[in-house]
Amino acid sequence: MSAELTYEPTAGGEKPVFFDLDEHDHPEGGSTMLGFWMYLMSDCLIFAVLFACYGVLGHGYGGGKGPKELFELPLVAFNTAMLLFSSLTYGIAMLTMEKGSVRQVQFWLVVTGLFGLTFLGVEMYEFSNLIAEGHGPSRSAFLSAFFTLVGTHGFHVTCGLIWLTTLVIQIGTHGLGQANRRRLQCLSMFWHFLDVIWIGVFTIVYLMGVLG
């Protein structure tokens, strides 16, 4: 019995196959970025389907008003600027993260969050105006598709803001450890991704809509 025990390590010590497989030396979170990228790609497909819906239904005005009468381009331009600024400030937050200053990262995250909040506020204002004037999502196929597409983007921004707030607090309590850096990196991808989707929204829905 004891002979077997001592025998095992000498034979097994040289070929620790199970040990090696078990160790599987992936650092924690090593595959997180790729996994998150996969999520973003699948999110892309959601938006692709919503864009396709909009493309198909976008001309079904049901006798109501179309994009030309309903959309206010200055508001959309303002919102686009807000998202673009927030992308830049998030980038700066990532750069300050590499320097390791918690306060500065928090500051730039809060600035990013305020831009995002402004974006949402303006979108809410636009939506509530449309609904108040009787152009709600149930008015026509065009408006259903519009509210679903733009609303889904707005919902993503809302989730991003909640995530951002959480991270601001987490960085404050736990500092800029490896895990928190990874989370910031994921949110960075998410946030820039939302800006990419918005390019599609303002081009296809608003600009091409008003252009007719």
Among 7, 8, 9, 33, binds other proteins (CB under 8 A): 33
Is residue 64 within the footprint of other proteins (CB under 8 A)? Answer: no
Supply 37's token pair.
């990228």
Smallest separation (angstroms) from other proteins to the CB of 175: 18
Is residue 91 within the footprint of other proteins (CB under 8 A)? Answer: yes
Closest C-alpha to 42, from 147, 156, 164: 156
Is residue 115 within the footprint of other proteins (CB under 8 A)? Answer: no
Q: Give whichever of 23 and 132 is closer to other proteins, judged by the CB atom.
A: 23
Q: Give whichever of 104 and 181 is closer to other proteins, judged by the CB atom.
A: 181
Is residue 84 within the footprint of other proteins (CB under 8 A)? Answer: yes
Is residue 210 within the footprint of other proteins (CB under 8 A)? Answer: yes
Among 70, 82, 94, 109, binds other proteins (CB under 8 A): 94
Is residue 22 within the footprint of other proteins (CB under 8 A)? Answer: no
* Interacting residues toward other proteins by CB under 8 A: 11, 14-17, 20, 23-27, 30, 33-34, 37-38, 41, 44-45, 48-49, 51-53, 55-56, 59, 61, 73-74, 76-77, 80-81, 84, 87-88, 91-92, 94-95, 98, 181-182, 185, 189, 192-193, 195-196, 199-200, 202-204, 207-208, 210-212
